[in-house]
Amino acid sequence: MRATMRNFRIRWTSEDGQPRESAVSYSKRVADREADAKRAQGLADVDVFEVDPMTGKELARS
């Protein structure tokens, strides 16, 4: 069985109301952990989403 790496990024709203997005991609486990850390900091609208590893564009949710 072949393992497939899936890539995820995080988007959130900063304390000053600005939309932000991570510049790097994470594994799902690490993205979830980083998102939880942002929520613990009190940041709003934290969302983990999958991206295409070649383009960095968001993949459609299934």
User: Is 28 a residue whose pLDDT tops 70?
Assistant: yes
> What pTM value is reported for the model?
0.85
pLDDT of residue 62: 60
Q: How many domains does the chain have?
A: 1
Q: Which domain holds residue 20?
A: 7-51
Please state, in angstroms and rounded to a whole number, the distance separating the CA atoms of residues 47 and 51.
Answer: 13
Token output for 25? 């991609």
Q: Is residue 11 part of a domain?
A: yes
If we measure between CA atoms, which residue out of 38, 44, 36 comes closest to residue 18? Answer: 44
Find the mean pLDDT for residues 5-15. 94
- Tell whether 43 is covered by a domain: yes
Tokens of 15: 């304390």
pLDDT on residue 31: 98
- Within a domain: 57: no
Has residue 59 got a pLDDT over 90?
yes
- Whether residue 32 lies inside any domain: the answer is yes
When pLDDT is averaged across residues 11-16 and rounded to a whole number, the result is 94
